[in-house]
Structure formats: structure tokens, C-alpha cells
Copies of this chain bind each other. A is one copy, B any other.
Amino acid sequence: MSKCILGIDIGTTNVKSVLFALDGSILIQESAEYPTFFPEAGWAEQDAEQWWEATVETISRITTNLQINKYEIAAIGVSSQAPTVLPLDIKGNPLRNALIWMDRRSEKECDFLRQKIGEVKIKEITGNRIDPYFAFPKLLWFRENEPHLLNRTHKILQCNGYVNYKLTGCFSIDKAHASLSQIYDKNKNRWSQELCQQLDISPKILPKIYECTDIIGTVTKKAAAITGLSQGIPVIAGTVDGSAAAIEAGVINSGEAVEMTGTSTVLLIASDKWKNNENLIAMYQGFGNHCLIFGAMSSTGACLKWFKDQFGNTEKKVAQKLNLNIFELMDLEASKVEAGAGNLLFLPYMMGERSPIWDSHARGMFIGLTLNTSRKQMIRAILEGTSFALYHNLKEVTKLGLKVNKLKAVGGGSNSDLWLKIKASMLNMPILVPETSTGAPFGDALLAGVGVKLYNNVRDIVRKSIKIKKVIM
């Protein structure tokens, strides 16, 4: 029997479950989607039951197809989108939909925090700025607006915490998720007594904090029956999706960096110690005291997609006719234009912006239009404007004394050589694109392997498994 490890990532749009052999090769991978609900402008919710249903669906497909005489699942690691606020009652049932990371309803609660506790104090305790992105302001909104539900709340969980609970029956939160809660004392590695007291939050509703590689429990009989997993498989606390993906991209030593561009762009930089900072976010990475500093842009690929949807009718037809990718066509068009796009600037804040400007009211702009401005220039301006946003975030990183001299790129955006070339030239550093990857589940599996002592060292296994397929200078 060969041992293997199951990595599961509960992302924003889908769950991805991947079974890895111990050498890091993929045995089976499955995914399943769930919807996001936007009940009001700026609100974003998901149904926790749907996370679990999608997870069960993917695991079942894996266990059905697994040659059970040949392979034995030795550990499970779950990562997720973060942070989330999901209140459960005493029976472990969700009391409402989860407020997910993109939910911005708690602006008022942030103002309250600024007045009551103060930006400086919050940063001192939690290491991050006050923002609706974090879990604590969302929790305050919940208390303010749904006190009848808070009264019935037994635990507040994260996304992976809920899946872990369904697998093991144990309540938990990993250190990475905790560090994004804004009620976690990162200096003392525990829930902040000061914040709980001052804001009158019962620490009982907050789950126990684990190191990411800690085993929090094992697969229950009930979960085994539903999923086809064997009862008793150890489940680790897990980590945040970006952190797991960074591990997969080999972003571990101080100054190693990766940018992930899809709908939006996240820039992650490893640091061997915590760095408080003004305009980026800090979180624990998942092993030791390693940290990640990250900048999150709201819309990058989304701007390009917007242009395609509004103006790409011709490209769409050509792409269909020639069986080409429409974004490749748009790239080809933009490549015919000189750098600078004829002095046309594009600000990509089409959904407001997170780091480094943190302005929900910011909006997209085309600046510098002339009667000679062409579609091609507008496409290139979008590629350049979104790259400037990345540059803007990277400048914040260098303020922290972290030296970044090359950047890895993953996600759909890394398919565009032109986009990468613009970024390389703007950031003045080479950009390395790894072989197509599974993203977070690989990092989850690695952490789980460390948790059950199949691996001694995250670094070594990462170094072996990463293959760079192209370098853009």
C-alpha cells in the first residue's frame, strides 16, 4: 500500500480536492462549484452547507476512483478563502450564511473600532490595519444587527474550520486564519483578551487556535460513511488558500514573491518574521513563525474581461471561427501598440481597490483619450494599468525592508506573455512561471504530510517539486 495525502482548498468559487502521492505527483483531482450571494451592494455571502456538499462530492469521486488496495490516505489538509464569519449553533448547524472575505458591509463597525480602540492599538495587537476585509468588523456587524442569532452562537468558524468540523467533529482555527481575524493577538499567539473585554465578545465563541500542521482530529464514522474516506484519517488545522498556494509556488524564504492573477491579483511575499505595515496585510504562513505579507488588488483580469464583454464582439467571432482564445487575440492586438499605450492611462479600480489604497469608492478610469486612441491602445492600457497596481503594491513591500529581486507568476494571467513582459519591465525584475500547477491543494498536502511526520521539511519537498517553464525578462 502506497501512502498518499489529500489536499482540499475551499476557494471563493469552488472546492478543489487533489490526492497526491508522497513525491508530489497528482493521483486524482476533482472540483465542484458553489455560488456567492450578493443580497445588497457590498454584501457577499455563501452557504456553508454548499461548501460541505461540494467537498463531499469531490472526495466521493476521489474515493470511488481510488484503487483502494493500492493507496492509503495518510492525512488530510484543508485550506480556504479567508477570512470568513460563520456562526454555528450548539448542534454545529450554521445560523446564517457565512460573510465571506469580499463582504464590505462593516464599514461602520470599522469606524466604531477606530473610535473605541484606535488604529494604532489594533495594529499593535493584530498587526494589521482596520478594514472590513477582516473578520472582527464583520463579527461586530453580526452582533449589532442580528443579536438574536449571536445569542444562539456556539462557535464562529472559518471556511476550512467548518469543513474540518464536518470531517472530525472538532472545532478549530489555524494560526494563519486567526492572524486575519483582527481579534487575534499575534504577539501572544492567542485571542486578544483586551479586545474581547473591551468589545464585550465572549472568548467562548472563538475556537481553539492550532498551528497549521497540528492534527485537530480524525475522520469520524459519520464523515467516513458520507465521503468514502476511511474512519480515523488525521486531519490537520490547515491554512489560508493564499498561504498554501505560496508554499506550492516555493515562496518560503524572506523576499521570495509570487503574484496570482485571475479576476483579481494577489501579491504574496515571504518574510521570516512578522512585519506590521500600513497598506498591505500580514498573516502567518502555516509553519513556524514564517509570515506572508500580501497585497490584494480588487480587479485586474476582471477589467480585461469587462472590456472583452463590452467591446470584444469582433474578437469573439474571430476566436470562435479560428478556434483561438479570445484573450490571446486581445494580447496580439495590444502587442501592436508601443509601451505607454499612446499616453493613455487606465486605473483598474472598477470594484474599488484594496491594497495599497484601501478605497471602496475608487473607480476605474481611462485618462488621456484622444481622437486617435485605438481599441488596441485601450487593451494595452488595461494591461499596463493593472501592472501599475502590482508595482504600487510591490513598492509597499520594499518599504518594509524586504528585498524582492524576482517574482513568480501563477494563475490565468500568467498565460499572457505580453502582460508578464509589461510587469517584468515595470517592476524591473525577471518573472518566473512555474509549470501548470494545482495551486493551494499541493500546499495543503505538504502541510498535512508534515503534520503526520511523513515529511520533515516543507522547504526540501517544495524545492524538488517546482519546475519553472518560462522566464520573462
Contacts and interface: CB of A to CB of B under 8 A. Distances in A.
Interface of A: 299, 302-303, 306, 310-311, 313-314, 343, 350-351, 363-371, 373-375, 378
Closest 3 CB pairs of A and B: A364-B369, A366-B366, A363-B368
Contacts of A371: 299, 302-303, 306, 350-351
B374 A363 contact: no
Given A311-B311, A364-B369, 20 more contacts: A299-B371, A303-B371, A306-B369, A306-B373, A310-B311, A310-B375, A310-B378, A311-B375, A313-B313, A350-B371, A350-B373, A363-B367, A363-B368, A363-B369, A364-B373, A365-B365, A365-B366, A365-B369, A366-B366, A366-B369
Given A313-B313, A375-B311, A350 B367 contact: no
Nearest to A343: B363
14 contacts: A302-B371, A306-B369, A310-B311, A310-B374, A310-B375, A313-B313, A350-B369, A351-B371, A363-B367, A363-B368, A363-B370, A365-B367, A366-B366, A366-B369
Given A313-B314, A365-B365, A351 B370 contact: yes
Contact of A370 (B364, B368, B369, B374): B364
A312 to B, nearest CB: 10
B364 A365 contact: no
Of the listed residues A306, A363, A367, the one surrounded by the most CB atoms of chain B closer than 10 A to its CB is A363
Copies of this chain held together in the complex: 2
A11 to B, nearest CB: 19
Looking at chain A's contact residues, is the secondary structure mostly helix, strand, loop, or mixed?
mixed
A313 B375 CA distance: 12
A48 B284 CA distance: 76
A217 to B, nearest CB: 41
A329 to B, nearest CB: 14
Given A365-B365, A365-B366, A310 B351 contact: no
B374 A364 contact: no
A432 B80 CA distance: 63
Contacts of A373: 306, 310, 350, 364
Contacts of A314: 313
Of the listed residues A299, A306, A369, A378, the one surrounded by the most CB atoms of chain B closer than 10 A to its CB is A369
A365 B351 CA distance: 18
Contacts of A313: 313-314
Contacts of A370: 350-351, 363-364
A367 B365 CA distance: 5
Contacts of A343: 363
A368 B364 contact: yes
A453 to B, nearest CB: 46
Nearest to A314: B313
Nearest to A375: B310
A363 B351 CA distance: 24
A343 B313 CA distance: 25
A363 B366 CA distance: 10
Contacts of A310: 311, 373-375, 378
Contacts of A306: 369, 371, 373
Contacts of A369: 306, 350, 363-366
Nearest to A310: B375
A375 B309 CA distance: 10
A10 to B, nearest CB: 24
A368 to B, nearest CB: 5
A363 B370 CA distance: 6
A365 B306 CA distance: 17
A412 to B, nearest CB: 17
Contacts of A374: 310
Nearest to A378: B310
